[in-house]
Amino acid sequence: MPLRTLIFRALACVALAFAALPGPARAQDALQPALQAFAEELASPSRRTIESVVTALIEGGQPNIGEFLRRYSAREVVQRPEDGLFFYAEDAGDLVRLIDIDSGATVAEVSSRDVTQIRTNSGVQRVIAAALVPLELNAPERVRRAAALDAISRSPDASQIAPLQDSIAREEDATLATRKERLLLLLQAQFSEDRAVQLAAIEALGGDISIEARGVLARLTATQTEVAPTLPEGANIARVLEVGTDLTEAEAYDQLVAAGLAEPAQTPAMLREVLAQNIVDGRVGGVPIGRLSDPAARIEAYEALEAAGTVPPRAAPDEAAQAVAAHVFYESYVLDDPEITAAAQAALDSTSQAIAAYQVADLVLDGLSLASIFFLAAIGLAITFGVMGVINMAHGEFIMMGAYTGYVVQLFIPDYTISLLVALPLAFLVTFGAGVAMERSVIRHLYTRPLETLLATFGISIALQQLAKNIFGTQARPLTAPDWLGGAITFNDIVGISTIRVAIFVLALIFLGLLLYILKRTRLGLEVRAVTQNPGMAASMGINPDRINMLTFGLGSGIAGIAGVAIGLYAQVTSEMGSNYIVQSFMTVVVGGVGNVWGTLAGASLIGFLQKGIEWFNPSNTLAAQTYMVLFVILFIQFRPKGIVALKGRAAGD
């Protein structure tokens, strides 16, 4: 070893000895001599050598060792070649500013060629991060304590239990304290040497649905498939596998082969290869080559070769079944401790039950979200269809018009919150006007001809789609939600819902209350209900059915426009977007009950929850779910043609 290195190591030992002294002696603390004792290792770090160096430096007890290791890991440390001293490096324009490691004073500004940059790789950085955990757990900065917990989560180790447990009492941040307690449970469940503590930690993890907790329990209950002539005594067996139920005979025989307990079964390819190697004068075992296309002839040829001792005996047809029957197949825990694995399995079963409950809750949230979307899309159609009996195939295009109105507003008002507040009433006015114009120009002439009404509105829908393509193009246009509607509300690792869907649900509730108020508490609502139940009698009482039809059609169209703004915030705004909701809207109205707000709500809820339930069984195929929904609606109206909430009055029988 070079003399200079010996001298530096001796000085480092003296420095470490002084560091251990109390009182005034500690004023002589200096980190540079301790670093020089490991100058070669620090200058050329590797994951194999750095761990012992970092451990020795931390055990030296210098108060600024944590700062050095952090900056060393971040590649902020350089070495001066002429004397081997280490410095912190800061950017000084074209130069590098050298900072004394002990005093923090600026030493010099030099060229980058005058110092050696120490480059730590990811392996070295992980070693340093793990070693710093005990120091960082009680760091004054919250971000450093959080980073230490992240390091524990990435690389858990038994040595982290004691410092983590000690740091909990000193933690002032409630969130970090909770996280520390949870990490302590995870560490104790895996590594605690106290059996009672480990069992208590495992039991406490029961019902914890977090990925970390499930990962720990999964490791403690990990199994491996094994085979033996009989069940071994003392083995920690999870379960015995039944051939034909848990695994096929072929899979069982493959396990026997993998364990060296049986010879590989002869495949047709292997049989052909053996026969090809034993062709003599155009025959194999006396069988002409021309006959070997027949599987029975190939077996005959092989048996002839077997009788002559040319090839090894061929396995009997039932040999595989006999070999499988002579062995026991089972899964054993990787961990040999039955008490620990039993506790972990019980905790994992409890977690599975909690996951199932949360999955149901998440499914309910998804169903509510979809139901609110269907309700918004269908409520306008329910009003027009219920009051006027008009099958409006262009209803989806009013949704599209509302979405494009929101897009145009955002082009002129860049503030997404203000633009949304402007777009909602403006979309209502635009689609209200379009609906009134459509009713006055087309629908009013076709009230008594439903087939012609359907064809006319279908033609209008195609025309509106083409008009939208001509104006906005075929490319999807963005309708951006404000920041406060971004993200999601997450309850845990399973249950969560996007904020925009919550907003749509709230909007649906607002419209439900508003429509109920209009229909039940206003003169317009009274006249609408009168025309719905008996148009002739309403006309004789001084109500103008034409005016009511016009306003009702405009109201339904305006609501569709507002629904378009809401739907456009999370769906693509295209000219065809309305066609994606017209079928669901008609299904919602028919199933719920024509002309009834509560019926529309019931229909939207039923279809929304049922569609999400069908998708849960086959999540990769939403088209199949929609197909099943159509079949369900067809069957439903066979048994209840008037819907869930049937219309009352004389018109109910029409």
Greater pLDDT, 63 or 4: 63
Q: Are the C-beta atoms of 388 and 551 separated by less than 8 Å?
A: no
Q: pLDDT for 181-202, tens place per residue?
A: 999 999 999 999 899 999 999 9
Q: For the range 254-259, what are the long-range contacts, defined as Cβ-Cβ under 8 Å and sequence gap of 24 or more?
A: 255/225, 255/227, 255/329, 256/227, 256/323, 256/324, 256/327, 259/226, 259/227
- The CA distance from 257 to 261, in Å, is 6
Determine the structural domain holding residue 287 and report its residue range. 223-333
Indicate whether 607 pLDDT > 70: yes
* Shared-domain flag, residues 572 and 592: yes
Which of 53-67, 105-119, 326-340, 556-570 has the least mean pLDDT? 53-67
Q: pLDDT for 123-148, tens place per residue?
A: 888 888 878 777 788 888 888 889 88
* Shared-domain flag, residues 390 and 531: yes
The DSSP-derived string for 265-305 is PPPHHHHHHHHHTT-BTTEETTEEGGGGGSHHHHHHHHHHH
Please compute Rg for the chain using Cα positions.
39
Which of 266-270, 435-439, 577-581, 611-615 has the least mean pLDDT? 266-270
Q: pLDDT for 453-494, tens place per residue?
A: 889 999 999 999 999 999 998 888 888 888 888 888 888 878
Indicate whether 563 pLDDT > 60: yes
* Shared-domain flag, residues 375 and 423: yes
Residue 268 CB neighbours (<10 A)? 9
Indicate whether 24 pLDDT > 50: no
Which pLDDT score, from 0 to 100, does residue 561 have? 92
Which pLDDT score, from 0 to 100, does residue 595 have? 64
Domain annotation covers residue 338: no
Q: Are the C-beta atoms of 332 and 311 separated by less than 8 Å?
A: no
Task: Give 386's pLDDT tier (boundaries 50, 70, 90).
Answer: low
Domain annotation covers residue 341: no
The DSSP-derived string for 509-531 is HHHHHHHHHHHHHSHHHHHHHHH
* Shared-domain flag, residues 113 and 144: no
Indicate whether 581 pLDDT > 90: no
* Shared-domain flag, residues 312 and 384: no
CATH number at residue 621: 1.10.3470
Indicate whether 546 pLDDT > 70: yes
Q: Are the C-beta atoms of 151 and 178 separated by less than 8 Å?
A: no
Domain annotation covers residue 126: yes
Which pLDDT score, from 0 to 100, does residue 648 have? 55
Which pLDDT score, from 0 to 100, does residue 222 have? 93
Average pLDDT over residues 254-259: 86
Task: Give 315's pLDDT tier (boundaries 50, 70, 90).
Answer: low
* Shared-domain flag, residues 428 and 457: yes
* Shared-domain flag, residues 472 and 381: yes
Which pLDDT score, from 0 to 100, does residue 27 have? 36
Greater pLDDT, 219 or 520: 219
* Shared-domain flag, residues 110 and 157: no
* Shared-domain flag, residues 271 and 236: yes
Percent of the chain past pLDDT 70, that is, above it, reads 92
Give the pair of three-digit tokens for residue 654: 């029409």
Domain annotation covers residue 212: no
Kindly state the helix (H) or strand (E) to which residue 423 belongs, with its residue range.
Answer: helix 416-441
Q: Are the C-beta atoms of 241 and 329 separated by less than 8 Å?
A: yes
Residue 279 backbone phi and psi in degrees, to 5: -80, 125
Give the pair of three-digit tokens for residue 515: 């429509």
The number of folded domains in the chain is: 4
Domain annotation covers residue 210: no
Domain annotation covers residue 557: yes
Nearest to 566 by CA among 352, 423, 384, 363: 423
Domain boundary among 115, 131, 147: 131
Kindly tell me the sign of the dihedral angle through the C-alpha atoms of 547, 548, 553, 558: positive
Q: pLDDT for 290-309, tens place per residue?
A: 888 888 888 888 888 888 88
* Shared-domain flag, residues 241 and 275: yes
Q: pLDDT for 488-521, tens place per residue?
A: 888 887 888 888 888 889 988 888 888 888 888 8
Which pLDDT score, from 0 to 100, does residue 622 have? 67
Indicate whether 446 pLDDT > 60: yes
Residues 6+ apart with CB under 8 A from 278: 284, 285, 305, 310, 311
* Shared-domain flag, residues 119 and 172: no
Domain annotation covers residue 342: no
Kindly tell me the sign of the dihedral angle through the C-alpha atoms of 230, 232, 233, 238: negative
Q: Which residue has the tokens 């006309």?
A: 539
Domain boundary among 72, 107, 131: 131
* Shared-domain flag, residues 329 and 237: yes
Domain boundary among 76, 108, 131: 131
Task: Give 647's pLDDT tier (boundaries 50, 70, 90).
Answer: low
Domain annotation covers residue 118: yes
